[in-house]
Structure 1
Amino acid sequence: MTDEVPDEGAGGSEPEASDSLKAFGEVVKAFRKRAGLTQERFAPMVGYSVPTVASIEQGRRLPSVGFVEKSEAVLDAFGVIRAAAKHLARKPGLAKWFRQWAKLELQAVTLYTYENRLVPGLLQTPAYAKTIFDKRIPTLDDDEIEARIAARAERKKLLTERPHTIYSFIIEEHVLRRRTGGPQVMSQQIDHIVDICARRNIDLQIMPQSREHHAGLDGPMRLLETPENKWYAYCEGQENGLLISDSKVVSILQKRYARMRAQALSVEDSLSLLLEMRGTP
């Protein structure tokens, strides 16, 4: 099945992320106390640290899918915790067609991204992201821009908080040579990519401009694998996104991505090119 991401609605009826997180935290805390458990006893039962449980209950941390499911089971919550978690996907700052994919990202054990338009959101610096949002048509007001930058910053935590997830990025060379936001912004952006991709679970490859043809010419794509080894794909255009669960279609995109990894520069050569772009000998 190939499903268009459903329109979750917009406008003032959508709760602020902080409010929905606090409400979810209160639900978990109420069921934990109902079960007669302290945070210290509850945390190992769901496989998370006490500080993580505390942060979730205080509404300061977005719970993972694993936390939701384990809490539901351990606390015998009649489906209430799972139901409360559904509203957490409705966060301001994320395009409505992207929210379903963003929720899947939280549990991914493998995440692949190919981009030919701009630096992927997970790798963007705040200055680069602000440039993208500042220049958007139709224009956004200051609050909308801040909400989107905050949502992007929240997503970026995936790269540092999930060290066992395997990340692969393939970016077209021209994206990195375009001076988005000016020389200083782009120089900082390249520095950030170099730093973050030094992590052992993150690979970045550049598709060189000299490559006359490659397997990704149909457009950008993302692929992810869940803990249950189910694969999904996501393709995005202007003002729309498509979540793909059909195994045959996903398999085609996996084959294309695999071919692109062979056609792009190696990880080592990509790093050398990045250092050349920022002027490092």
Structure 2
Amino acid sequence: MANTSRQAAWEFWGAELKRRREEAGLTQDALGRMVFVSGGYVGQFEQAIRKPQLDVAVRIDGVLQTDGFFERTWRKLIDDQRYADYFAAAAELERLATKICDFESMIVPGLLQTADYARVLTLANNPLATEEYIEDKVRARLDRAVILKDTTRPLYWAVLHEAVLRVPVGGPAVMAEQLEHIARLARERKILMQVLPFAAGAYPLMGRMLTLMEFEDAPPTAYTEGVYSGNLLDDPAVVMRVRESYDLLRAAALSPEASLALIESAAEDYRRCASST
């Protein structure tokens, strides 16, 4: 679906929400309390500024007694089968963000992955999948990275734990290409990159991943992931705490210059190892 037609469909979703809410005699604040979001968020849903999470759409159906209308429509609009159910909403928001801040403790963030690196990870999680399935997932991940090439690309800042550089996903050749790709993006000033070294010891969000997203006309959102699950956080107080944790990570990380030198050194080591085998 083209972006314009998708946006028009979301505007219909929002207009329908407003119509049915008013028919039920509920204010935005009242509906918000009943579905566990703020009245301001309900207003943003109605104006198609922000897309709701699936569980919110389901609760709206329950409160307004709309027989699953909002859930079904949500699935048609946002439930892209190229992505896991729990990540589809985050992928949609990613395309709208003006600023994205990533933290990863073990693997390269999806927006920075090369095809071979993404393929190895996808196969590791789906060892019995068909080649077609694997390639579909890899293409979907690479499609996401297009936003870093756009003239209106978001400001992208990533903090990677040093473990990301040292775990040999796919072997030396794959890792060399992957780290060289990250270094190239940093040198071209398309991304800001920092590495949190092993020497930093304990750190905020230890063992977790985090994506912070900011938008032109909507409040910031945080996305975190667990085992086959994801969570979009948009409560202002929670997002503020998450942003503070991210600031602490950046403060503990190496400078962008030192980080780039470490990434290039690791890439060179992998390339040398690949050449000798």
Common fold by TM > 0.5 = yes
1:110 is the counterpart of 2:135: no
TM-score by length of 2: 0.69
Matches of 1:158 and 1:198, distance apart in 2: 18
Matches of 1:213 and 1:22, distance apart in 2: 42
Q: Aligned-pair RMSD on alpha carbons? A: 2.8
Match among 222, 242, 265 for residue 253 of structure 1: 242
Instruction: Structure 1: state its 5+ residue gaps.
Output: 1-19, 29-68, 71-82
Deviations 1:220-275 (A, max 9, x none): 11100011151000110111000111000000000000111110011000001011
1:156 is the counterpart of 2:145: yes
Count of aligned pairs between the two proteins: 209
Q: Report the more deviating stretch, 96-105 or 208-217.
A: 208-217
1:169 is the counterpart of 2:150: no
| Larger relative helix fraction | 2
1:233 is the counterpart of 2:217: no
Shift of 1:215: 1.9
Matches of 1:278 and 1:125, distance apart in 2: 14
SS at match of 1:276: helix
1:195 is the counterpart of 2:150: no
Matches of 1:157 and 1:185, distance apart in 2: 21
Shift of 1:21: 5.0
Which position in structure 2 is the counterpart of 1:267? Answer: 256
Moved over 4 A (4+): 20-25, 83-86
The percent of aligned pairs where both chains have the same amino acid is: 30
Deviations 1:64-113 (A, max 9, x none): xxxxx79xxxxxxxxxxxx9997343322211100101111111011000
Match among 121, 127, 145 for residue 134 of structure 2: 145
Which position in structure 2 is the counterpart of 1:278? Answer: 267
Higher relative contact order (CA 8 A, sep 6+): 1
Shift of 1:119: 0.6
Matches of 1:86 and 1:96, distance apart in 2: 10
Structure-2 change in CA distance of 1:259 and 1:229 (3 Å): farther
Matches of 1:256 and 1:209, distance apart in 2: 18
Shift of 1:22: 11
CA contact 1:24–1:85 (8 Å) conserved in 2: no
SS at match of 1:278: helix
Shift of 1:182: 0.6
Matches of 1:84 and 1:147, distance apart in 2: 24
Structure-2 change in CA distance of 1:222 and 1:140 (3 Å): same
Which position in structure 2 is the counterpart of 1:222? Answer: 211
Which position in structure 2 is the counterpart of 1:183? Answer: 172
Matches of 2:120 and 2:207, distance apart in 1: 26
Shift of 1:23: 11
Shift of 1:140: 2.1
SS at match of 1:206: strand
Matches of 1:184 and 1:138, distance apart in 2: 21
Q: Report the more deviating stretch, 206-215 or 137-146.
A: 137-146
Which position in structure 1 is the counterpart of 2:124? Answer: 135
Matches of 1:201 and 1:22, distance apart in 2: 24
Shift of 1:200: 2.8
Matches of 2:262 and 2:123, distance apart in 1: 29
SS at match of 1:272: helix
